[in-house]
Each structure stands twice: as structure tokens, then as C-alpha cells.
A and B are shown apart, each in its own frame.
Chain A
Amino acid sequence: MSSFWVRRLWQSALTLLIMLTLMFFMFRMLPGDPTATVISPALYPKAQETLRIQFGLDKPLWEQYLVYVKNLAVFDFGLSFHTGRPVADEISGRLLNTILLVFPSMIAAYALGALVGAIVGWRRGSKLEAILVFLSTALQSAPVFWLSMLAILFFSIRLDLFPIGHIVSPGMFPEENWRMYLSMDFLHHLALPFLVNTLYQFCFPFLLMRSSILATVGEDYIELAKMKGLTDRRVLYHHAMRNSLLPLATTLPMTLGWAVAGSVVIETVFSWPGLGLLMVEAVGRSDYPVVQAAFLLIAVLTVVGTLIADLLYTLLDPRIVNA
């Protein structure tokens, strides 16, 4: 491994460490006392004491911190204040639900956005271009929760095509096992949030690709490709699009982490039991071990995504050699 990657890994690890440290202290230093919800001042002092010891809150802050970091190393995120169950168990299923909703729609949105953006940018000045640019800007400007509500109003309530929310019909899969994800019922529930999210996420890659194609059109190598007698399609797909795709493709892994964080809103509207909804609930209940773990997870996703983005770049762009 070259020194570039050694340094890069180092940096990422450091970033993560700083983040988890900051988060740890943020949750404990800020004015609102989250422990108040678990250890109600109304309890007997004795009971309060027991609870403190159970959650490890009796030790000095720095010691708590060391224990926290040590436990993290074995993926022990502590206990939920709300349920008393290990946070890791609480989160893992929720994360899967979010990923099943977010990743496919992100990938679909990026693929579609890039393709349509490229075609529209290549044939610049068309009516279709103006309409699409306007529509996608407007779409991007609308709050996604509102769009979701309109979609539910129209598709679920008026047309009765899709369920109003949740991941499966109530009572269908009481034990919530893997079979759930293979059922038609799950897909039926997934369809509407997937469509809304895809449509919403479509705007960014579409607009980016279009402007990036517009910028490539004037490049000398595009002109040369035309002069070589290549067909118009070949110039578009093999030269203009290939080169403009590079920045877009490499931002995708990074964006995935953000998309998980951004799923908060859409999950709330569709009552989708994902990480986002969990975070909102946990914040509402001051269940900070859960929130902290969710944050950490997203941070890891983003940092790893950034690393993958860098890696992709070096793989896809021959100009970058980290010798």
C-alpha cells in the first residue's frame, strides 16, 4: 500500500475518533440533562443510585469515556435508556430497513439522472431541456415530506394503489424475520417511498450531469471525436458522458451516508421503521445511547464512503497515480 493510502486511512481514523469524542461529550455537556428521563428525580435516592451504577453514570466523565471507547471496539454501544436492550440490537434491524429503502432508490436516481441529464445536455436548447430543468429545480425545492404527503394523498388515499405507511401490513410478520423482506407485501409497502425518494434524489445528478455535459461540449477532445467521424451517439456515450460521469460516480458513495441521515424525514411520513425514524424517536425520548450510536454509524458510513470515493477516483481516472 502506498503512503498516500496510509495517510488517508490515518486521517479517516482520526476524523472518526474526534467525532465520537465530540459526540460523547456533547451529549453529556449540553444544558439539557438526558439522564433525567431514565433516572427520574422522583425516584428514591437509593433507586437513583442503583440506576446510575447500572448505566455506568456514577464514574467520572473521563472514565465513562474510556469505557465507552473500549466497548465500542467490540461493537458494544451500551444499553438503550428506553428499552434497556443493547443498542446494537435496537439499531441493526432498523439500519437494514433504511438501507433497503435508501440505497436502491439512490442508485436508481443516479443512474437515471445521469442518463437523462447527459442526453438533455447534449441536445441543448430543446424545449424538453427547459421543462425538465424547471421541473427538477422545483422538485428539488419542495420539502420532501410534503411531496410524500401529496403522494400518499393521491396514490394511497384517492387511488388506493399503495398502503399508507409501514414496512409490512400489521400482523403479517409478527416476528419480523428475514422472510418479511422477501414478501410481496414488503415490496408493496416499499414502492411509494421508493418512488418519491427516487424522484426527489433524481434532481441533483440530473442537473449536475447536464451542466457537466454542457461544459464538455466545448472541449477539444469532443470536437476531435466528431472530426474523427464517430457517430453522434458514440461521441456522447464514449467521450462526453464517460468523462462527465467521473465526478458523479465518485460522489455517489459519499452521498449514501448523507442519504441515510436524510432519510429521517421520508421515514417519518411513511412510518418506515428505519434508522431515521429511530433517531427522531430516540431524540424525543432522550435515549442518547441510541442516538449516539446512530450518529456514529452514519459518520462511519460517510467516512468510509469518502474513502471509497477516493479509491474509485484512482481506479476510474488514469491520471491519478498515487505512487
Chain B
Amino acid sequence: MRTFLTFINVTWKSTGGRISLCIFGLCLILAVIGPMIAPFGPSERCYDAAGKLLRLTPPSWEHPLGTTVMGRDVLSQMLWGARTAMLVGLLTALGTVVIGLNFGLIAGYFGGRIDAILMRITDILLGLPFLPFIIVLLALTDRNIWTIILAMTFVMWRSTARIVRAEVMSLRERQFVAAARTTGASDADILYREIAPNIMPLAVTSITFALAWAIITEASIGFLGFGDPDVVSWGSIIYDAYASQAMYRAPWWVVPPGIAIMVLVTSVYFIGRAYEEVINPRLQERS
């Protein structure tokens, strides 16, 4: 909690950070209440007064972002999609960082054989074609949102682990670690009480990257048609538009989900950068 508050505090200091936090906060709120305020269900078909299906109608008061070829309300789909994006992004980022952080800490601190094995594992994961691999996993198992989250986490922790490992290897040589050891600290003491707190800035940057990546990747999966068929995501909206061959006739259908992804991910990147810019001078001052 303390870490979270300092994080907000630090990021709030720059204009870019403040705007980005607001955008991110807004998306978060929409993710929670979006489905409640959405005028229509995600796959509800809309008809006009005459009972005719509203196919590809341009934006109107009734349907501010128009309708799809199946007569679905784009705005409602967008609101449902916000929940998917946030859920996938946050859970994947969390999983990635928790796994990557611990692997990185242990590999970097103990070195030797443990490190060699862990690094071999990340090597293998680095050699995997990222997106195709996830698609195959989804094709072979079950195309649902939890599998997507698990599959992405399974591949993405490698980068965090590598970055954290490198940082731990340099922190391990710092004098305060030697000082702790001479006062009788055990390996666990040093790893989790002395080194881990110093990794936090890096972890925050890692989280933002993982978050951004997860959101984009989930959209790509949706776009390639391997998303959860029961869940609307911004990627799957674009996929529907693309698959229906109607996308070039109905920009109101294609543009909003893309912009939503772009704005959300940009805000995530800028939050990370704002945090880093404040933290970094202090890091430099110390060394």
C-alpha cells in the first residue's frame, strides 16, 4: 500500500503523468461500471421502430457510435471491451511481474547453477515466436480469456526476469549488502529485506510495459480470430469488422476500438515514463 501511494505521488508530479493517470483511472472506472451503463448488451441486436435490423447505421443519438453489420451497438461493445482489456492487462502484468521478479531475484542473487538453468529457460522462451505460440496454445486448448491470460503470462515473464536479474547482480555487489551480511543477515534477509525494495522502481517500469504489451497482444489475438468467443474485446470488434468485409465502409466501427487501445496504452507508457523520470535522478544521485 505504501509503495502504491508513493507511486501515485511520484507520477503525479509531472503533467504528462497526471493526464495519463487520469486517463488510466477513467478506463479503470469504465471497466468496472461500463457494462452497467452500456445501453445494450454486447451481442444484443438492435432493430428500428419498424422492426428492421439496424445494419451498419452511422452514428446517431440512439447509437452514438453506430451499429455493426450484425446490428449491434458499437458503443456498448466498446464499454464491455474496456473490462476485457483491463482485466487481461492487469492480471497478465501482475502475473508477469510476480513470476519475473522472483525468478530474477533468485537467479541474480544465487548465480551459479540455478542462474544457468533459469537463464536457459528464458532463452528458450525468447526463441519462441511470441504471438504464434500463444495462438497455438489457444487453438490446442481452450479459447477463453483465462487461457489467454495464462498463455501471455507464461511467455512474458522472461523479460522481467532478465532485467531484474541484471539489476540484482549489480545490487548484490553493493556495499550495503556486504554490510548486512556482516551483521549476520541470512540469504533470505538480504534478498527480500535489502535487495528487493531496491528493485521496486524497476518492477513498476516492468509492470507498465507488461500492461501495455498484454493489452496490445490481447487485441491482436482477438483480431486474428483466436479470442474468447464469449467475450467482447476491442480486438475482436476490429476482427468482426475486418471479417465482415465492411470495415472500409463503416469507419465508425473500426476507428473507436483502435483509438481506445492507443489512448489506454499510451497513457500506460507515459505513467511508466513519468515515474521513471522522477525516480531516475535519485537513482543517479546515489550512485
A residues in contact (CB < 8 Å) with B: 11, 14-16, 18-19, 22, 26-27, 30-32, 34, 137-138, 140-147, 149-150, 152-153, 157, 257-258, 260-262, 264-265, 268-269, 276, 279-280, 283-284, 286, 291, 294-295, 298-299, 302-303, 306
Contact = CB atoms under 8 A, between A and B. Distances in A.
A150 B241 CA distance: 13
Contact of B133 (A18, A31, A34, A295): A295
A141 B132 contact: no
B242 A276 contact: no
Contacts of B131: 261-262, 264-265
A67 B235 CA distance: 40
Given A141-B212, A143-B216, A295-B132, A302 B127 contact: yes
A265 B238 CA distance: 13
Contacts of A14: 120
Contacts of A157: 248
B30 to A, nearest CB: 18
A141 B223 contact: no
B269 A143 contact: no
Contacts of B226: 283
A295 B139 contact: no
B128 interface: yes
Contact of A298 (B129, B220, B266): B129
B270 A268 contact: no
Contacts of A142: 258, 261-262, 265
Given A15-B127, A144-B220, A280-B132, 17 more contacts: A14-B120, A26-B136, A27-B136, A27-B140, A30-B140, A142-B262, A145-B223, A146-B238, A149-B242, A149-B254, A153-B248, A153-B251, A261-B132, A264-B135, A284-B139, A295-B136, A299-B128
A268 B266 CA distance: 24
A272 B117 CA distance: 39
B238 A145 contact: yes
Binding site of A, secondary structure by majority: helix, strand, loop or mixed? helix
Contact of B224 (A138, A261, A264): A264
Q: Which secondary structure characterizes the binding site on chain B?
A: helix
11 contacts: A22-B124, A26-B136, A141-B269, A145-B220, A145-B223, A261-B129, A261-B131, A261-B132, A279-B129, A280-B135, A294-B132
B141 A265 contact: no
Contacts of B187: none
Given A143-B235, A149-B254, A18 B262 contact: no
A32 B130 contact: no
Nearest to A292: B136
B247 interface: yes
B44 interface: no
B139 A283 contact: yes
A279 B268 CA distance: 31
B29 interface: no
Contacts of B126: 302, 306
Contacts of A283: 132, 135-136, 139, 226
Nearest to B131: A264
Contact of B262 (A141, A260, A262, A279): A141
Given A19-B124, A32-B139, A157-B248, A258 B130 contact: yes
Given A15-B123, A262-B131, A265-B131, A286 B139 contact: yes
A146, A152, A262 — most chain B CB neighbours (10 Å): A146
Given A149-B238, A279-B132, A143 B258 contact: yes
B149 interface: no
B219 interface: yes
Contacts of B141: 30-32
A19 B273 CA distance: 35
Nearest to B143: A32
Contacts of B130: 258, 261-262
Nearest to B268: A141
A7 to B, nearest CB: 11
A143 B261 contact: yes
Nearest to B16: A134
Contacts of A34: 140
Interface string B151-174: 000000000000000000000000
A141 B140 contact: no
Closest CB pairs A-B (n = 4): A261-B129, A141-B265, A146-B258, A30-B140
Contacts of A276: 132
A141 B124 CA distance: 27
A143 B219 contact: yes
A280 to B, nearest CB: 6
Contact of A303 (B127, B139, B258, B264): B127
Nearest to B116: A11
Contacts of B269: 137, 140-141
Contact of B132 (A19, A32, A147, A264): A264
